[in-house]
Amino acid sequence: MALTRSERIAALHKAAKERILVLDGSWGVMIQRENLTEEDFRGERFANHNHPQKGNNDLLILTRPDIVASLHDAYYSVGADISETNTFSATTIAQGDYGLEDAVYDLNFEGARIGREVADRWTEKEPHKPRFVAGAIGPTNRTLSLSPDVNDPGFRAVSYDEVYEAYKQQAKALHDGGVDLFLIETVFDTLNCKAAIKAVKDLEDEGYEPLPIWISGTITDRSGRTLSGQTAEAFWNSIRHAKPFAVGFNCALGAELMRPHIAELSRVADTLVSAYPNAGLPNAMGQYDEQPHETGHFIEEWAKSGLVNIVGGCCGTTPDHIKHIADEVAGVTPRAIPERPKALRLSGLEPFELVA
C-alpha cells in the first residue's frame, strides 16, 4: 500500500536525520541524448500548434511521458532519494515563449503524477529507502530586480503580481499531482524567489496541506554573488523567514568552485544545507567534461567535512554521476545543524547581523 502524503513527509524528515540524502541529476543532458525531433515534442496534442516546440523539455511530460518516467526511474535506480519533476520552466511566464500558457496546469499536474507513480513503485520495492518527489519551480526567464533595458534601469518586463500568480498556479498543480515538497531552485533573483515563497505559503489559506520548502540559489560566477548581487549569507538572511526544510546552491559552478559558498552557507544556515553542482564548467563547445568519479570525489570531501545534508547534480550530470555521489556519501554522517544565537539579521547585497 502506498504511503500517504503525511507519512511520506514524516519519512523525509526521518531520512534527513539519518543520512545524507541524494537528489537526481541533470534532465537536460539526458533529454538531449534522446535526439528528439520537433514531432516528438509536439506529439498528437500539439501537432498543429503555431509555435516551434523543440527544446521545450517540460512539454515532454504530455507528449513523451515514457521518457520522463524512464528518467525518474534511472535516477532512483542508482541511489537517488529525491527526484525532481520535469517542470523547471512550467509557468505561464516561461511557457509564454512557446505559446503554451493554457497547458501549464496539465504540465505540472502530470509531471507530479508521473514522478509520484515512479517513486511509489520504488518505495514499494525498497521500503527501507522511500523515494520522494520534489516539485521543481524554476526562476522563470524574467527578473524582478533587474531591468532588461540598459537604457531604462527602472523598466521591468514583468510585475511582482504576475510572477506571484504564475508561481501560485504552478504550485497548486504540483500539489494536486502529489509532490512531497517544493524545490524553488536556481534562484538568481531573490525577489522572484520571494514571490515563489509567498505563492507556496498562500496555498495553506486555500486548504492545501503545507509541504516542506527547499530553496536553492545560484552563484553566477567567481564573485560569489547571485545575479541580483547578494552574497551567500545575505541570500540566506533574505529567505530565512520561510523556515525552509533545506537551503543550498545549484548550477552555474562546478563542485570545485562552489565549495567556499557551500561552506559559508553551512556556517550560517540553521536548517539542512544542499548542494547540486554542475559537472564542472562547460568547455568551448558547451559540453561538460567532469567525469562521474571526479564529481563524486569532490562531494565526498564536502560530506566528510560536515558541510552538507543533501547532494546531487545539475547541468552535465548523469545517472552515473549520481551513482558515484550516492556511493561516496553512503554511511557519512550528515551535517549537524548549528544553533545560532538570537540576533537581528538583515540583508541587502551584504549581510548585517546585530547580536544582543
Question: Binding site for Zn(2+), residues?
Answer: 251, 314-315
Q: For 109-129, b where at least 16 C-beta lie within 10 A, e where not — what string?
A: bbbbbbbbebbbbbbeeeeee
C-alpha 27, offset from chain centre: 11
Angle at 180 between CA 248 and CA 23, to 5 degrees: 45
Q: For 261-283, b where at least 16 C-beta lie within 10 A, e where not — what string?
A: bbbbbbebbebbbbbbbbbbeee
* CB 190 within 8 Å of CB 237: no
Detail the residues annotated as belonging to a binding site. 251, 314-315
Cβ within 8 Å of residue 95, ≥6 positions away? 56, 58, 89, 101, 103, 104, 107
Provide φ and ψ at 34, rounded to 5°: -80, -15
DSSP for 21-50 reads EEB---SHHHHHTT---HHHHHTTTTTT-S
Residue 128 has which C-alpha cell? 527501507
Q: Which residues pair with 353 in a beta bridge?
A: 345
- Counting every residue written for the chain, the total comes to 356
- The 10 Å Cβ neighbour count of residue 286 is 8
Closest CA to 141 of 126, 162, 115: 162
